[in-house]
A and B are shown apart, each in its own frame.
Chain A
Amino acid sequence: MSFFEYTEDGHVIAEHAGRRAIDTQVPMLNLVPGAAITLTGYSISWPDLWKGTLYYQTRQTVETVPGVFADYFGCSTWAGLVEQEWGPAEAAPNNLPDIAIGTVPAGTDYLEVWVTLTRTVNPANILDLALASNFPEGLPVKLDGHSCVVEEFGGVARQFEFVLSGTSVLLRRYQSVNALGGIVQPGFLRNNPSGAAGNAEFFYPGTNAPVDGSKYATHGQRIQQLGPDKDIPTHRPPGKEWGSSNNVPCSMDMTGISYASTWTGDIIIKPGFIDAP
């Protein structure tokens, strides 16, 4: 049995097989396929992170035979990420402005968002591990909640989201690095002390990544490791040689080490109306 009924207060009810299939007091989700925003091969990108260089020098004294000691010297260098927050509300140079990707009809109060993305620019490693992705790469995802923490590991995180602002749909991005030094304990304080004979740690500043001994740096990708080499006390940072004029320091060249990240794929956003309060 199916019938339509007009109620005294002006509503329409359609019953079918004993249930209310339509009741204008109870809005269904209306999706407007003709107003969908379709982006094909679209890239969502984040820039490189602010980073300096971590420099470790080591000296290990080993008793090679009873009563005979030898010193072994080594070094290792790492990209060192400093604490930072990026997003649309952050001041330059950490501002990531919203990106307008399309418009939807007036009155839209719901977005059905489908994304199919693959990471096409991989950020550099965190302690030899890829910056973990949380996105099912290459698979269709209905983005309930409109947001996605697309990468997160070791105190480094990235998020994108779609925002309905009036009749505009905005792509919003964030990226963040913590101030706690990531997942190495004890953390690496951003000191740059004078040269020394023994074990020492130095932080070499980068762009927007100053020396600051009250704060930590997060270990990123390894740049180089040398040694341990016996009786060759040369693995000291430039300008801080000790015991030799023929210094062979670990490289601090970060050419090619970038934490920029890009995810590319298809995005379909279908506007809707459910008469949200």
Chain B
Amino acid sequence: MVYVFMNDPATGRVAVFEENGTSGDPEDPNSVRNAPLNDPVTHLTRTRFNADFDYYQVSTDTSGIAIVHPATPGASTVVATAPSITRVGQVAKSSINLVAHGLPYVPAYMVVGPYGGLIGQSSLIQTVAGVGVRRVSPYATSTHIGLLDVGISSASDLPALAMTYRVIVFKQPVADSAYMLDIDPDAGVFNMGYGKWRGDLKQLRQSKLADASPFDVPLGRTSDIRGGVSRTVLADGTTFTSPNYTGTFAGSPSIQCSVE
């Protein structure tokens, strides 16, 4: 297993990849062993960097975002009088801005919960037997990264919940340089792929080097429904189960990542 750094001025590609065998001229960008350079999609698993691809490079990384999710008042509502039928509980929705991203586009993002894993869509974060449940769904707008909070009560109040989040916002890769590869130590510049990738920005990668503040990223589903209700298993294994869930969902594989 040998990795190489190579570029091909004829195609404009620059790449870091594992050699595709040992056949061919090592210095020929079109030789079999260097095929990942100019055909990275076919050789995806050998690729560590290619100018054709996009990378999650950090625009902002904000920790310690303290949110108090509001209580959902209990409710008993008479919906019919002959006979009297009473519906217990209600649904309360609110939108919570976590962070203003300050970018002129809707960026990619990750919302990390207090347990060390990403908060997936419609994740349960509170289940109180006999009382209710709360789930949150991250989203992006042109200005903010936010959470849709949906609390469902019973005849009793679903209590407020204090949580702390981390939001990582990623820069959209843009080819804004004339140089395929630009290394200028005096100016502190290290760019590849015509500026799409910048060496001065942290990026999402596997956490293998005792990185600070790693978090778990799910590689499959984080929720399941059965018995008319749901279970959430976050990427870090934290589990929230609605009362009366009848399934056996135990979570999906995940991978520990960091932004370094």
Contact = CB atoms under 8 A, between A and B. Distances in A.
A22 B41 contact: no
Contacts of B140: 139-142
B88 interface: yes
Contact of B190 (A21, A144, A276): A21
Interface in B132-156: 135, 137-141, 146, 148, 150, 152, 154
A225 B81 CA distance: 9
A36 to B, nearest CB: 10
A97 interface: no
Contact of A10 (B3, B122, B224): B3
A69 to B, nearest CB: 17
Nearest to A56: B83
Contact of B139 (A136, A176, A228): A136
Contacts of A10: 1-3
Interface residues of A, number: 98
Contact of A105 (B41, B110, B148): B41
A140 B143 CA distance: 12
Contacts of B116: none
Interface string B1-13: 1111100000000
B159 interface: no
A24 B208 contact: no
Contacts of A182: 228
Contact of B45 (A177, A228, A275): A275
B190 A14 contact: yes
Nearest to B145: A142
A107 B228 contact: no
B45 A155 contact: no
B8 to A, nearest CB: 17
Given A22-B49, A140-B139, A184-B85, A2 B190 contact: yes
Interface string B51-83: 011111000000000000000000000011111
B108 interface: yes
A210 interface: no
A24 to B, nearest CB: 4
Contacts of B2: 10
A199 B83 contact: yes
Contact of A152 (B106, B218, B221, B225): B225
Contacts of A23: 209
A42 interface: no
B23 interface: no
Contacts of A19: 260
A182 B83 CA distance: 17
Contacts of A127: 79, 85, 87
Interface residues of B, number: 92
Main secondary structure of the interface of A (DSSP, over half): strand
Contacts of B152: 132, 152-153
B199 interface: yes
Given A34-B41, A76-B80, A152-B225, A141 B138 contact: yes
Nearest to A85: B226
B47 A129 contact: no
A144 B217 contact: yes
Interface in B182-225: 183, 185, 188, 190, 199-200, 203-209, 217-225
Contact of A222 (B47, B80, B148, B229): B80
Residue among B53, B141, B255 with most chain A CB within 10 A: B53
Interface of B: 1-5, 16, 18, 40-42, 44-45, 47-50, 52-56, 79-83, 85-91, 93, 95, 106, 108-111, 118-123, 135, 137-141, 146, 148, 150, 152, 154, 183, 185, 188, 190, 199-200, 203-209, 217-230, 235, 244, 246, 252-253, 255, 257, 260
Closest 6 CB pairs of A and B: A145-B120, A74-B82, A178-B228, A145-B222, A147-B221, A155-B228
9 contacts: A21-B200, A28-B56, A29-B205, A30-B47, A30-B50, A159-B224, A161-B221, A178-B229, A275-B45
